Amino acid sequence: MASTFSRLKIELIGTGEQAGTWGLTTNNNLGSSSTYRGLEQAIVGMATLETADFTSNSYTLPYTDSNDAQDFRCLVLDITATLSAAGTVNVPAIQKPYIVMNNSVGGYAVTVKVTGQTGVSVPNGAKVMLYNNGTDVGAAVTYLTTLTLGSPLAVGSGGTGISSGTSGGVPYFSGTSTIASSGALAANALVVGGGAGSAPSTVTTGANVITALGVNVGSAGAVVVNGGALGTPSSGTLTNATGLPLSTGVTGTLSATNGGTAQSTYTTGDILYASATNTLSKLPVGTTGQVLTISAGVPAWGASSGGISTGKSIAMAMIFGF
């Protein structure tokens, strides 16, 4: 019976075969003093995948019936090839773990997969643990109960890159891909930016507060500042104010329905009167000798009449008896 081969291409000697030479075959299955092969290669072997192995940035690992050294069998795949685009490494459809190191030149990711499947994309410069389940390659580790890093997790990997900071400070980007800790920020103060590459700080009083708010005192949108002027609000209702100067602090004319007169100027002798419901008007001063009368339901100036003189005579006669 002829030899057969396992999924790892370990030679399985047929019954009664290789008399006198089976020991050599067995040694090659286990390993060899001259080169890693067989089981030894599968357990501790590393294959270097070089530029010459790739065609159009792709390499399919050979998979043949032989217990000679084969790249597919190695535990570690070290990709050192120079690539001109994203690369691909196709592995056989057998259950097997892999540690993949993408040390390729060119900065491209390399996808490790079974031919026709999706696989896992290994970023350039990364080292990952993968497992081939016989159908496709996936991540070998997706959950850890605990993890201790030898150095701070880099910003590019979602970390901060720092292991300590200032108490009371905040982390900030000191560069496009670096984070640092600011100094301690004052309690109950306004935090202001320091500009590109500089730490934020705090201000409490003075012009720096106004600068930080970005609105000059007294201008539209300004806030109330102690000792300063109240800006012009764009909306809102004033329900209480103290220290409001009526001569310089009010614009417009207060309407009659709000307790005002709706008038902003007067001439000497003018008289206010209600010309309609909730409406005040001015009656200019009349001329000497005119009297106040009613015309069309509102006050008006008119000439004096005889009725007034007659009344005056009757009154004097009653008083003085003539």
Q: Walk along the chain (322 residues) and give the pLDDT tens digit of each residue.
A: 688 999 999 999 998 898 889 888 888 889 876 677 889 999 999 999 999 999 999 999 999 999 999 999 999 999 999 999 999 999 999 999 999 999 999 999 999 999 999 999 999 999 999 999 999 999 999 999 998 889 998 898 888 889 888 988 889 888 888 998 988 888 877 787 888 888 888 876 655 565 655 555 556 555 555 555 555 556 666 666 666 676 666 677 878 777 788 887 888 878 888 888 888 888 888 788 778 788 787 888 878 765 555 555 555 566 665 5
Q: How far is CA 155 from the centre of its chain?
A: 15
Residues paired with residue 82 on neighbouring β-strands, in sequence order: 105
* pLDDT value of position 317: 60
Residues ≥6 apart with Cβ < 8 Å to 193? 200
* pLDDT value of position 136: 98
Domain residue ranges of the chain, discontinuous segments joined by +: 4-139, 283-320
> Residue with structure tokens 């294959």?
47
56 and 85 Cβ atoms separated by less than 8 Å: no
Q: Closest Cα to residue 140, out of 148, 150, 130, 152?
A: 130
> Residue with structure tokens 């530029």?
51
128 and 103 Cβ atoms separated by less than 8 Å: no
126's tokens = 């990364």
* pLDDT value of position 117: 98
Integer Cα distance of 234 and 229 in angstroms: 16
User: What's the Cα-to-Cα distance from 307 to each of 96, 294, 311, rounded to whole Å?
Assistant: 128, 16, 6
Residues of 147-160 as b/e, b for ≥16 C-beta within 10 angstroms? Answer: eeeeeeeebeeeee
Q: How far is CA 266 from the centre of its chain?
A: 60
282's tokens = 């001015």
Helix spans in 166-254 (H): 207-213
56, exposed or middle or buried, with CB in 10 Å at 0-12, 13-18, 19+?
A: exposed
Residue 63 three-state SS: coil
User: What's the Cα-to-Cα distance from 169 to each of 41, 55, 184, 194, 195, rounded to whole Å?
Assistant: 53, 53, 4, 14, 16
5's tokens = 């081969």
252 and 260 Cβ atoms separated by less than 8 Å: no
* pLDDT value of position 238: 66
Residue 274 three-state SS: strand
Residues of 86-103 as b/e, b for ≥16 C-beta within 10 angstroms? Answer: ebbbbbbbbebebebbbe
191's tokens = 């935090």
Q: pTM for this one?
A: 0.58
Integer Cα distance of 173 and 44 in angstroms: 43
* pLDDT value of position 71: 95
Residues paired with residue 96 on neighbouring β-strands, in sequence order: 132
